C-alpha cells in the first residue's frame, strides 16, 4: 500500500487510556501512548491488533456514531469512580463499528469508542469518517428483502429481525421487507411488480430454494426488460445489475457457504453492508428449446435427483429430510442409462482435479472479459465448423448412478469441500461429474470422500470434465425391442426386480434432475453456462492470510496534518 496522507489525527481516550488515533483514505488506526516504545513492530491484521496498536480498513467500517454518555456504560462500569471523573473530563465521544474476523470465515461487528474533551473534535471525526464512507460507491443504501418464513427450521423472520435488521439500521441502510405468503411469491413480485429502480440490491432470507426464486425473478426481469427471449438457448443474456445478498435460513444453504465460507446471518449481513461483489455463473437449462430453469449450484440426475424427489415428501422433517432420503436412496442403489454430450472448456480453464480452489480474488475467474470472449468464440466456432454442429463435443453413453454438474464447489456443512472442490464461481464453466454403475460399497466410498480429505474423483467409475455446455438424453425405452433387452428397472446389486420383458414405466427408468434443489419436469435437457450473469454481495472465500493488512505504522510515519 502506498503511504497516504493522514486526513485526521488526534489524541483521544479509549477505555481511559490515551490513544493516538489516525485516519487516511484506507485505514483507521489507533495506539496507546504510554506503551508505544515497547511495542513497535508486528504485522497487523485489519480489525485485529498487536498488543496495543489496532487498525481497521476504512472499507470495513460499518458506521460511526455520536456516543451519548449513558451508552458507554459497559466500559465505565469496571471502575466507576475513575470513570466518573473521566467522563467529566472527556464528556464527548464517538463510536466506530467495524468488521472483525473471528474463526472460520465468520465476521462480527465490533465497536470502539473514543472520548474527547472537545465536542467539535468528535463531530469532526464523525464527519470525516462519514465522508470517507460515502465515497465507497459500491455500498448499498436501499435494499429489497424477501423472507421465506418456512425455510429450514422456520427461523427466517426471527433471524432477520434479531440479527440483520439492527446491523442494516446501524449502517444507515433502508430496507423494504416482504415476508412471502406462498411459494413463488418473491419470484413473481420481482418478475413484474417490484420497482427495481429504487434499490441497490435484493436480499434473500432463506435457503437455496428461496435463492432460486430470487434468481429467476431477477434474471427473467432483466431479460424481458431488454427483449431477450429466454427460450432461445443461444441468446446473449443481459447480466443483472442488482446484486443479491443471501442471509442463510434454509436447509443446505450451499450457495451462501460456497461464496462466503460459512452459513452465518451476521457475516452475510456485513458482506452486504460493506458492498462486496462476487460475480457468479448461471446455467440456463432448456428442453427442446423451451426454457426450463436456471441453476447456479448443482444440477444432479440420478442420486441427487432421487434424494430431492424423496425429500420433498418429508418437508415436515426440516433439514433432516435430506439425511433420511439420502440413506433411502443410497440403499435403493438405482442406476440410469443415457447419453451425455458436452463441450469441454479450453485447456487454460484449469481442470476439476487441479486442486486450485476458487478463492477471493480468484485469478481464473478474473480473465479479461475480452479474452474470455475470445475463448468462448473459439469454442463456438469449433462447434459451428462441424456439419453436424457437434465438433469439439464429446458424447458418453452409459449407465450412471449419478450425473452431477457443479457450477461452483457446492461446499456446505455436510460436505465442506463440496461436490467439486476446484470448481469456480465465475469462470463460465461447470464441472460435469459422471458416476458410473458400481457396487454399493464403492459408491459409499465415493460419498464418504465428500466429507474427508481424500479425492472423490479418484475412482475407476468416476470421471469429471470441465465443460461450457452439455446435453443429456435418457435412453428411450419405448424404442427398445426384445432383442435389445432393458436391464432395468435399474437396480444394481442384489435386487434384479424387472425381467427383460417387463415394460418399465417412465418414473422407474428415469430419474429427475435436481436443479438447485428444485425438481425439473424433463429428463432430456440442454445446459449452457452463462458466464457471470449475476453478482452477489460476497467476495468468495478468503484465504486465511488474505485479511492481513500492512503495519498501520505507515500511518504514523507520515507527518500529521494540522488539526
Ligand X SMILES: Nc1ncnc2c1ncn2[C@@H]1O[C@H](COP(=O)(O)OP(=O)(O)O)[C@@H](O)[C@H]1O
Ligand Y SMILES: CCCCCCCCCCCCC/C=C/[C@@H](O)[C@H](COP(=O)(O)O)NC(=O)CCCCCCCCCCCCCCC
Q: Is 230 in the site for Ca ion (CB under 5 A)?
A: no
x/- contact string, 447-486, with ligand Y (CB under 6 A)? xx-xx-----------------------------------
The cell numbers describing 129, all together, are 469518517
Q: Is 215 in the site for ligand X (CB under 6 A)?
A: no
Burial class (CB in 10 A: 0-12, 13-18, 19+), 157: middle
Quote the CA–CA distance of 332 and 265 in Å, as a whole number: 37
Quote the CA–CA distance of 46 and 488 in Å, as a whole number: 60
Candidates 72, 208, 253, 306; catalytic one: 208
99/280 with CB nearer Ca ion: 280
Closest C-alpha to 49, from 5, 92, 101 = 101
3-state secondary structure (DSSP) of residue 368: coil
Q: How far is CA 256 from CA 274, 408, 416, in A?
A: 16, 11, 12
How many residues of this chain bind ligand X (CB under 6 A)? 20
The residues in 18-37 that bind ligand X, with binding defined as CB under 6 A, are none
Q: Tell me which of 412, 486, 525, 536 binds ligand Y, using CB under 6 A.
A: 412
Q: Is 262 in the site for ligand Y (CB under 6 A)?
A: no
447 binds, among Ca ion, ligand Y, ligand X, none (CB under 5 to 8 A by kind): ligand Y
Which among 105-113, 117-125, 177-185, 424-432 is the span making contact with ligand X, rule CB under 6 A? 177-185
Q: Tell whether omega for the bond before 341 is within 30 degrees of 0, i.e. cis.
A: no
Which among 48-56, 93-101, 207-215, 343-351 is the span making contact with ligand Y, rule CB under 6 A? 207-215
Quote the CA–CA distance of 561 and 9 in Å, as a whole number: 7
- Backbone φ and ψ for 286, nearest 5 degrees, come out as -125, 155
Q: Is 213 in the site for ligand X (CB under 6 A)?
A: yes
The residues in 393-422 that bind Ca ion, with binding defined as CB under 5 A, are 407
Contacts of 495 (CB under 8 A, 6+ apart): none
Q: Is 208 in the site for ligand X (CB under 6 A)?
A: yes
The answer to whether 197 is a known catalytic residue is: no
Quote the CA–CA distance of 296 and 239 in Å, as a whole number: 14
Q: Is 207 in the site for ligand X (CB under 6 A)?
A: yes
Q: Is 260 in the site for ligand Y (CB under 6 A)?
A: no
Cβ–Cβ < 8 Å for 28, 44: no
The residues in 273-292 that bind Ca ion, with binding defined as CB under 5 A, are 281
We find the least distance from the C-beta atom of residue 260 to Ca ion, in angstroms, to be 17
514 binds, among Ca ion, ligand X, ligand Y, none (CB under 5 to 8 A by kind): ligand Y
Which residue has 486450485 as its cell numbers? 356
CB atoms within 10 A of CB 286: 21
Q: Tell me which of 214, 246, 273, 308 binds ligand Y, using CB under 6 A.
A: 308
Q: Tell me which of 36, 177, 328, 330 binds ligand Y, using CB under 6 A.
A: 330
x/- contact string, 152-171, with ligand X (CB under 6 A)? x-------------------
Provide DSSP, 101-159: E-STT-EEEEEEEEEES-HHHHHHHHHHHHHHHHT-TTS-SEEEEEE-TTSTTT-HHHH
Q: Is 516 in the site for ligand X (CB under 6 A)?
A: no
Contacts of 453 (CB under 8 A, 6+ apart): none
Quote the CA–CA distance of 272 and 274 in Å, as a whole number: 6
Quote the CA–CA distance of 263 and 416 in Å, as a whole number: 11
We find the least distance from the C-beta atom of residue 264 to ligand X, in angstroms, to be 16
How many residues of this chain bind ligand Y (CB under 6 A)? 30
Q: Tell me which of 201, 217, 245, 250 binds ligand X, using CB under 6 A.
A: 250
281 binds, among Ca ion, ligand X, ligand Y, none (CB under 5 to 8 A by kind): Ca ion
Quote the CA–CA distance of 460 and 435 in Å, as a whole number: 9
The residues in 45-104 that bind ligand X, with binding defined as CB under 6 A, are none
Give the active site residues.
208
Which residues bind to ligand Y, rule: CB under 6 A? 207-209, 250-254, 297-298, 304, 307-308, 322, 326-327, 330, 410, 412, 414-415, 419, 444, 447-448, 450-451, 514, 516-517
Which residues bind to ligand X, rule: CB under 6 A? 148-152, 180-185, 206-210, 213, 250-252
Which residues bind to Ca ion, rule: CB under 5 A? 281, 407, 424, 427
Amino acid at each position: 500500500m502506498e503511504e497516504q496522507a493522514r486526513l485526521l489525527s488526534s489524541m483521544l481516550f479509549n477505555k481511559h487510556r490515551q490513544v493516538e488515533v489516525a485516519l487516511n483514505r484506507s485505514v483507521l488506526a489507533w495506539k496507546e501512548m504510554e506503551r508505544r516504545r515497547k511495542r513497535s513492530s508486528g504485522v497487523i491484521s485489519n480489525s485485529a491488533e498487536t498488543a496495543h496498536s489496532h487498525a481497521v480498513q476504512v472499507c470495513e467500517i460499518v458506521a460511526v456514531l455520536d456516543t451519548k454518555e449513558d451508552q458507554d456504560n459497559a466500559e465505565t462500569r469496571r471502575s466507576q469512580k475513575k470513570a466518573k471523573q473521566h467522563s467529566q473530563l472527556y464528556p464527548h465521544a464517538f463510536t466506530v463499528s467495524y468488521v472483525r474476523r473471528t474463526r472460520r470465515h465468520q465476521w462480527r461487528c465490533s465497536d470502539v469508542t473514543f472520548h474527547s474533551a472537545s465536542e467539535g473534535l468528535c463531530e469532526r471525526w464523525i464527519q470525516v469518517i462519514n465522508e470517507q464512507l460515502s465515497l465507497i460507491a459500491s455500498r448499498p443504501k436501499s435494499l429489497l428483502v424477501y423472507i421465506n418464513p418456512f425455510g429450514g427450521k422456520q427461523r427466517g423472520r426471527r433471524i432477520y429481525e434479531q440479527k440483520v435488521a439492527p446491523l442494516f439500521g446501524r449502517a444507515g441502510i433502508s430496507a423494504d421487507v416482504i415476508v412471502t405468503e406462498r411459494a413463488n411469491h418473491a419470484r413473481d413480485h420481482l418478475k413484474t411488480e417490484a420497482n427495481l429502480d429504487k434499490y441497490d440490491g435484493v436480499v434473500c432470507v432463506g435457503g437455496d430454494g428461496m435463492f432460486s426464486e430470487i434468481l429467476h425473478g431477477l434474471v427473467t426481469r432483466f431479460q424481458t426488460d431488454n427483449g431477450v427471449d429466454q427460450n432461445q438457448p443461444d441468446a446473449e443474456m443481459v447480466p443483472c445489475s442488482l446484486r443479491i445478498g443471501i442471509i442463510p435460513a434454509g436447509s443446505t444453504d450451499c450457495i451462501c457457504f460456497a461464496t462466503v465460507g460459512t452459513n452465518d446471518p451476521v457475516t452475510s449481513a456485513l458482506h452486504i453492508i460493506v458492498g462486496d461483489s462476487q460475480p457468479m455463473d448461471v446455467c440456463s437449462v432448456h428442453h427442446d428449446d423451451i426454457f426450463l430453469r436456471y441453476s447456479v449450484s448443482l444440477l444432479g440426475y440420478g442420486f441427487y435427483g432421487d434424494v430431492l424427489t424423496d425429500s420433498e415428501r418429508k418437508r415436515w422433517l426440516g433439514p433432516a429430510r435430506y439425511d433420511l432420503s439420502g440413506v433411502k436412496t443410497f440403499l435403493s442403489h438405482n442406476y440410469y442409462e443415457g447419453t451425455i454430450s458436452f463441450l469441454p472448456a479450453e485447456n487454460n480453464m484449469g481442470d476439476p482435479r487441479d486442486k486450485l480452489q476458487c478463492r477471493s480474488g480468484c485469478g481464473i475467474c478474473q480473465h479479461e472479459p475480452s479474452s474470455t470472449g475470445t475463448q468462448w468464440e473459439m469454442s463456438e466456432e469449433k462447434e459451428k465448423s462441424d456439419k453436424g454442429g457437434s465438433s469439439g463435443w464429446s458424447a458418453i453413453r452409459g449407465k450412471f448412478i449419478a450425473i452431477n454438474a457443479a457450477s461452483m464447489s457446492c461446499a456446505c456443512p455436510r460436505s465442506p469441500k463440496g461436490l467439486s472442490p476446484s470448481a469456480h464461481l465465475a469462470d463460465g464453466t461447470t464441472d460435469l461429474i459422471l458416476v458410473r454403475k458400481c457396487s454399493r460399497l464403492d459408491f459409499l466410498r465415493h460419498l464418504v470422500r465428500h466429507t474427508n480429505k481424500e479425492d472423490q474423483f479418484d475412482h475407476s467409475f468416476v470421471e469429471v470434465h470441465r465443460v461450457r455446455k452439455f446435453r443429456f438424453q435418457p435412453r428411450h425405452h419405448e424404442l427398445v425391442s426384445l432383442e435389445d433387452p432393458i436391464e432395468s428397472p435399474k437396480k444394481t446389486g442384489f435386487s434384479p426386480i424387472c425381467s427383460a420383458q417387463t415394460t418399465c414405466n417412465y418414473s422407474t427408468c428415469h430419474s429427475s434432475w435436481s436443479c438447485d434443489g428444485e425438481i425439473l419436469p424433463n429428463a432430456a435437457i440442454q445446459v449452457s453456462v452463462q458466464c457471470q450473469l449475476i453478482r452477489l454481495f460476497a467476495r468468495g472465500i478468503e484465504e486465511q492470510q488474505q485479511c492481513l493488512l500492512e503495519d498501520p505504522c505507515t500511518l504514523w510515519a507520515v507527518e500529521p496534518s494540522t488539526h
